[in-house]
Structure 1
Amino acid sequence: MKVFNDPTARNYGRLAGGLYFSIAVFGAFAIGYVPSQIVTGDPAGTMANLVAKRGLYNAGIGADTLVMLIEVMTMTMLFQIFRRTNETLAFAAMLARFAMVAVMGAMLLFQAGLTSLATGDIVANDEIRNALAALMMDTHHAGIWVWQAFFWMHLMLLGTLVLKSGLVPRLFGYGLIVGSFGYIFDSVYAFAFPDADWFGTLRIGFLAIVTLSEVGFALWLAIRGPKEPTPLNPALAAA
């Protein structure tokens, strides 16, 4: 466990980058692939697919859970890496990411409820089951809009810390800040302007930017490790 002793060490940064990249891998499976194989445009169809592909659905829930556990270590390590740059911004970034994970954890409860409906563990006629399934799916979607708002804040702060720290190339900082708007745009688009096609296209462009920036940031940390740290803020040194 010596790797956790010195947040300024390259191995510490490499481990943080590796954890961050693993979030992208497991998250792509749980958030990207699994729903495309299970969820349809109607609750009854979704539940039928869930029963037919229950193993895949449970694997998605497992991957989501694993992501949240990795998130705890990742957000803590990112805080330790960047607190030397600005402790207030680093702590706010950590809290914003923690809030995102908390919302995602609550969303898993609705996924579990949907499983109970699909498998018949909750006894009800088809009309009631479909209505409950629709409610759980809509609530789950609302959860996505909420966690994306917290993640937008986190990425804005993280990008700012990257720019100020000099620990990784500044290009990643600009990409995180600019691309972060893809998440808030996606929430606003889904919640308020679902018929604005131009807005939907715009948010896809920003999401592409932030995806490349996050993956690049994680791989840079994992492969190269952070540069030599900047001197500790005198105010922190005196604390």
Structure 2
Amino acid sequence: MKNSKIIGLLYLSIAIIGGFSMGYIPIELIDIHNLSQTFINIQENLLLFKLSILGDGIVIVLELFITILLYHFFKQTDTLWSEIAKYSRLAMAFIMAINILYYIIPLYNIQTVNTSIEIFNFCMQAHFYTVYIWQVFFGIHMISLSVLTCKHIQFSKILSTLLLMGGVGYLLDCVVYFFEVKNIIITTFANILLGVAAVSELSFAILLLIKKN
């Protein structure tokens, strides 16, 4: 199987596993504005929380493979932007790996006799904040990927534009959060671009799978 199809499969695998561990489970169990209820939710659904940790770990491993493959796929297209794409995605994976600790510590904490609510609350908040940090690097990665697909002969300018919009969406979402932007137009625009990001990544994966080598 050619590298392009492997990359496509990895993208889809990350989307499915990450959608479960980073999307569905946090929505079901975690409310950053009500950590007392979050504690109860996790305590009553330890298996689901453990699956979230496992899923995150698998995603990080897949991220390392996809980063290497993407670099080799695009390095002849543009060396500089390939390097930017590689290191920004590696930085994202590294931060995601650190973020798993903010799940593992509360898990251990909940299962001990001397449970510390303070430690639990700190880890939940730290995990929530750190997600926005790795989003910054993923936004940079998507922008660099948009440049690479634009320069690559086998990808359309439409895909490149969607990837660019998605990358901007991730960065804008971080700006909205860190600077506590309350403007409804800006926040709505950021959410729309995040939707575009999902579409662009899925489209990229499908194109890689059907791409003739």
Query: TM tier, shorter chain?
Result: over 0.9
Equivalence map 1:131-146=2 (5 Å): 131-146=118-133
SS at structure 2 position matched to 1:56: helix
SS in structure 1 of the partner of residue 114 of structure 2 = coil
Provide the residue aligned with 1:49 in structure 2: 41
Of stretches 192-201 and 45-54 in structure 1, the one that deviates more from structure 2 is 192-201
Match of 2:18 in 1: 27
1:177 and 2:161 are equivalent in the alignment: no
Cα 1:154/1:226, change in 2 over 3 Å:
farther
Deviation at 1:197, TM superposition (A): 2.8
Cα distance in 2 for residues equivalent to 1:162 and 1:36: 33
The 5-angstrom pairing of residues 114-193 of structure 1 reads 114-119=106-111, 121=112, 123-124=114-115, 129-193=116-180
Q: Which amino acid aligns with 1:71?
A: E
- Computing the radius of gyration from Cα coordinates, the structure with the larger value is 1
In the other structure, the counterpart of 1:235 is: none
Q: Tell me the distance in 2 between the aligned counterparts of 1:122 and 1:26.
A: 32
Q: C-alpha distance in 1, partners of 2:184/2:148? A: 34
2:14 partner letter? I
Corresponding position: 1:91 with 2:83: yes
Amino acid of the residue matched to residue 114 of structure 1? P
How many Å separate the matches in 2 of 1:171 and 1:226?
A: 19
Q: Equivalent residue for 1:8?
A: none
Distance (Å, rounded) in 2 between the aligned partners of 1:131 and 1:226:
55
Q: Offset of 1:187 from its aligned partner?
A: 1.1
Query: Which structure ranks higher in relative contact order (CA pairs < 8 Å, sequence separation ≥ 6)?
Result: 1
Supply the RMSD in Å over aligned alpha carbons. 1.5
**CA deviation profile, 1:170-189 (whole Å, cap 9, x unmatched):** 21111001121111111111
* Count of residue correspondences: 212
Structure 2: unaligned runs, 5 residues or longer: none
1:73 aligns with: 65
**Corresponding letter in the other structure for 2:28:** Q
> 1:215: Cα distance to partner?
0.4
Letter in 2 for 1:75: T
CA distance in 2, matches of 1:166, 1:178: 20
- Relative to structure 1, the CA distance from residue 206 to residue 226 in structure 2 (aligned partners, 3 Å threshold; closer, same or farther) is farther
Aligned counterpart for 1:215 among listed residues 178, 198, 202: 202
Q: Residues of 2 paired with 1:110 and 1:122: CA distance?
A: 19
1:54-85: CA deviation from partner (whole Å, max 9, x where unpaired): 11111111111111111111111111110011
Partner in structure 2 of residue 231 of structure 1: none
Q: Structure 1: where are the runs of 5+ without partners?
A: 4-10, 228-239
- 1:104 and 1:147 in contact (8 A); partners too: yes
Q: For 1:226 and 1:147, locate their aligned partners in 2 and report how far apart those are by CA, in whole Å.
A: 33
- The residue type paired with residue 225 of structure 1 is K
The one-letter code of the counterpart of 1:182 is: G
